[in-house]
Amino acid sequence: MILRGEEISTPLTVEQAVDSRDSMAMALYSQCFNWIIRKLNNRIRGQEDFKSVSILDIFGFENFEVNRFEQFNINYANEKLQEYFNKHIFSLEQLEYNKEGLVWADINWMDNGECLDLIEKVQGGGGDDDDGDDDDDDDDDDDDDDDDDDDDDDDDDDGGLHRNWVSWR
């Protein structure tokens, strides 16, 4: 770096240089992302038929050798945000269109429900039940699976993308 005509240099370790590089890349990405948002806002401003744009994006520069519990929580929160977004943008809107008898084109999108189920639902492990009746347990499991399938059919439009949620009007 040159400051007041004098070259100044600061020696860095490899790790410090990598951190500096990554920080610069994230800052450049953020600036580009914000520039795109400003351009889109300027372009759609005043158009009555286009009310808002939603973008979901998170920096993809995290490259940990070991992901810890904090990273797990961040990823889980992002998946929940995506589930909420998809439910309200896709599922509920499509239900409303159907109620009103509107003709609309089906939108394919990825459901993140299975990912969330891994975290939120009790996983089967073949444990003992209190009633001791294996036949009823199998029937109950089948019924539960059918109920889950029915629920999944109702919620096919939950989730998929994973990024940071930004919305503007």
Q: What is the pTM of this model?
A: 0.41
Three-state DSSP class for 112?
coil
Give the pLDDT confidence of 101-126 residue by residue, as tens digits: 988 887 777 788 888 888 898 877 65
Can you tell me which residue has the tokens 């096919």?
Answer: 156
Please determine, for residue 44, whether its predicted confidence score (pLDDT) is greater than 90.
Answer: no
| Range picked from 88-92, 107-111, 139-143, 146-150 for highest mean pLDDT | 88-92
Q: For 159, left (φ over 0), alpha (ψ -120 to 50), or beta?
A: left
Domain boundaries of the chain, sorted by first residue: 69-163
Higher pLDDT, 147 or 79: 79
Containing H/E element for 145? helix 134-154
Determine the pLDDT at residue 125: 63
Angle, CA 56 vertex, CA 94 and CA 82 arms, to 5°: 55
How many other C-beta atoms can be found within 10 angstroms of the C-beta atom of residue 104? 11
pLDDT tens digit sequence for 71-109: 888 888 888 888 888 888 888 888 888 899 988 887 777
List C-alpha distances in Å: 104 to 23, 95, 128, 129: 44, 11, 48, 47
pLDDT of residue 132 exceeding 50: no
Compare 109 and 149 and report the one with higher pLDDT. 109
CB of 115 closer than 8 Å to CB of 79: yes
